[in-house]
Amino acid sequence: MKKLLNTLYVTTQGAYLCHEGESVLVNVEKETRLRLPIHALSGIVCFGQVACSQPLMGLCGERGVALTYLSERGQFLARVHGPVSGNVLLRREQYRRAENPGHAVQIARNMVIGKMMNCRTVLQRVLRDHGEKQDKETLEPVVRRLGRLTNEAEREENMEILRGLEGNAANEYFSVFNNMITAQKDYFSFQCRSRRPPLDAVNALLSFVYTLLVHDAVSALEGVGLDPQMGFLHALRPGRPSLALDLMEEFRSCLADRLVLSLINLRQIDAKGFQKTESGAVLMNDETRKTVLVSYQKRKQEDILHPFLEETVPFGLLLHIQALLLARHLRGDMDAYPPFIWR
Amino acid sequence: MYSEDNLLPLSALQHLLFCERQCALIHIEQQWDENVLTVEGKGMHKRSDQSQTESRGNIRLARGVWLKCLRLGLTGRADLVEFHRIDSPGEGVALANISGRWRPFPVEDKHGRPKKDLMDKVQLCGQALCLEEMLNVRIASGALFYGKTRHRLDVVFDDDLRSQTEKAARRLRQLLASGATPPAVYEKKCDSCSLYEQCRPKLLQQNNASVWLTRMIREAVV
Ligand code: SF4
């Protein structure tokens, strides 16, 4: 199996990255703080005031190492892209299918099914592991409704209705999200999703981890030669990586949400790590951000059985594998796109 | 005759002969395993863009020689072409900045051990055909050097090998022009294929993703 490589997250403000031969150097105040071989990296993510030398950008482009700039808060700014490689014929097929409603809905449907089933499994696990009586009464009906929505999605041929079903499922799931927070409830409470800006600490955490996931989804798609912008489920919008957003749907609950929940529930982060600004937006401090990054990386190292391949792989490779399976389906090697179903 | 901007990589001949699907994965789909990429990448760096020549008595060693053959539509680089000094004035080729006549002799390094099939020989013969066209000379033989066994195998470019090579070049052009990747068929050689992960021949033969998904839903949601 392909090796899971590390992503280098640089959060130190004022850092300067360059390379010496095969090593990537992170310099802070003229002092080399870190030295890593480039072949051990799949990506470099720079937060805020971090500069990279031009030769390093070139090396990243050449080696297919994704180099991404995010704002200090984790908003996407830019990505460095090497020469376009990959299979132009595959991309043409991707565009064809995306433009053909009958084809697009087949792929989108399987992604939605994957997303719904994984949300459902997340809730079922909570019920199984520590379902109090009160939780049972709230969670069980949602689990049932998610099951029904899955069955409906399975038969749906119309993209707009499918998107509607997906929206319903997301609402169902987030309506009980707060029940899954079992510690520090006075500070970490969740009412509904707020994105721009996140209005509470839980939303700030979710948004941040989703950004990391988008970054990984974009690299995974580019790695197999697909265009991350040309999606099936998500409508096209300039600048939006629609296919990356499609691809990560299956992973939001079982990877990102569970990570956020365990950070809170295991008290790895606390209220002191957040700050409310005048506008009502909630920001996290550097230390909290680092804690999140470290546990995200750790989660990616954990092994999991891939249900379709029937092979144990690190969590962090799942996006790559799903991108590969999607490419295989587009090329006609497989009759359908098999989504990632978490069990 | 093919035009200069319509040449195919010589290295694709050996991929083609190993497995047409592998050849398509690499040259149509541009999918390759990182290991392959790094190995090739390192090789490229070692060679650099410059060709280098050194003399050892009656042998001139030219490294990283650019090659092309418009007749077969191939291009690539040779690791090493030796030029052996010969006495007969009418034979061989003249070289720049040095007197005498020289016989070209391509030598290709291979990491592994000698193989039963023809692919290494065909690739070497492809190099020879390029050199023949470029230097307007007939090349009788070359050599493969196997890293694992440190064994040097002389290869004679006889009619049979030449026609195999030309056939492979034609087939390569057909395959790449079709733009279609042949389906996977699992065989023993797959176990040593560097693109096994990308190809997954066993899995794709089942072609059963929708049946699988239905089963997954039935198992989970009753
Ligand atoms: S795994 Fe087998 S079928 Fe697939 S590319 Fe390699 S040799 Fe060909």
Residues ≥6 apart with Cβ < 8 Å to A34:
A8, A25, A26
At residue B32, the pLDDT reads 62
Q: Which of A53-62, B89-98, B133-142 has the lowest mean pLDDT?
A: B89-98
Q: Is B177 on the interface with A (CB under 8 A)?
A: no
Question: Cβ(B163)–Cβ(B148) under 8 Å?
Answer: no
Instruction: State both tokens at B45.
Output: 């760096």
At residue A175, the pLDDT reads 92
pLDDT band at B37 (very low <50, low <70, confident <90, very high): very low
Output the average pLDDT for chain B. Answer: 84
At residue B171, the pLDDT reads 95
Percentage, residues of chain B above pLDDT 90: 37
At residue B38, the pLDDT reads 42
Q: What does the alpha-carbon distance between residue A167 and residue A173 come to, in Å, rounded to a whole number?
A: 10
pLDDT band at B45 (very low <50, low <70, confident <90, very high): very low
At residue B126, the pLDDT reads 95
> Residue B22 CA: which ligand 1 atom is closest?
5
Coil, strand, or helix at residue B40? helix
Q: Do B31 and A225 touch (CB under 8 A)?
A: yes
- Ranges assigned E (strand) in chain B: 8-9, 52-56, 59-69, 74-86, 93-95, 98-110, 141-146, 151-156
Q: Do B33 and A2 touch (CB under 8 A)?
A: yes
Query: Looking at this predicted complex, what is its ipTM?
Result: 0.72
Mean predicted confidence (pLDDT) in B198-203 = 78
At residue B56, the pLDDT reads 82
At residue B123, the pLDDT reads 93
Taking one residue from A and the other from B, the number of pairs with CB-CB distance under 8 angstroms is: 78
At residue A313, the pLDDT reads 83
Main-chain phi, psi angles of A133, to 5 degrees: -60, -45
Residues facing B62 on adjacent strands: B53, B81
Q: Is the peptide bond before B183 cis (omega within 30 degrees of 0)?
A: no
Query: Among the ranges A306-320, B39-53, B149-163, which has the highest mean pLDDT value?
Result: B149-163
Distance from the Cα of A147 to chain B's closest Cα (Å) equals: 6
Q: How far is the CA of A75 from the centre of ligand 1 (A)?
A: 41
Closest CA relative to residue A74, chosen from A289, A310, A316: A289
Q: Do B30 and A86 touch (CB under 8 A)?
A: yes
Q: B-chain residues within 8 Å CB-CB of A337?
A: 209
Q: Do A154 and B33 touch (CB under 8 A)?
A: no
At residue B222, the pLDDT reads 62
Q: Is B209 on the interface with A (CB under 8 A)?
A: yes
Q: Is the peptide bond before A339 cis (omega within 30 degrees of 0)?
A: no
Q: Is B53 on the interface with A (CB under 8 A)?
A: no
Measuring from atom 3 of ligand 1, which residue has the nearest CA? B184
Q: What does the alpha-carbon distance between residue B208 and residue B222 come to, in Å, rounded to a whole number?
A: 22
Cα-atom radius of gyration of chain B, to the nearest Å? 21
For residue B43, pLDDT beyond 70:
no
Q: What is the pTM assigned to this prediction?
A: 0.72
Q: A-chain residues within 8 Å CB-CB of B207?
A: 333-335
Q: B-chain residues within 8 Å CB-CB of A309?
A: 200, 203
Residue linked to tokens 């989660």: A299
Q: Higher-confidence residue: A166 or B98?
A: A166
Mean predicted confidence (pLDDT) in B45-55 = 63
pLDDT of chain A along its 343 residues, tens only? 556 667 788 878 889 999 998 899 999 988 888 888 888 887 888 888 899 999 999 888 888 787 888 877 667 777 787 665 567 788 888 999 998 888 899 999 999 999 999 999 999 988 888 767 667 788 889 999 999 999 999 988 899 999 999 999 999 999 999 888 888 888 777 777 777 787 788 888 999 999 889 988 988 888 778 889 999 988 888 778 899 999 999 999 999 999 999 999 998 888 787 887 877 788 888 888 889 988 998 888 888 988 888 888 888 888 888 988 898 888 877 889 999 999 8
At residue B35, the pLDDT reads 46
At residue A38, the pLDDT reads 87
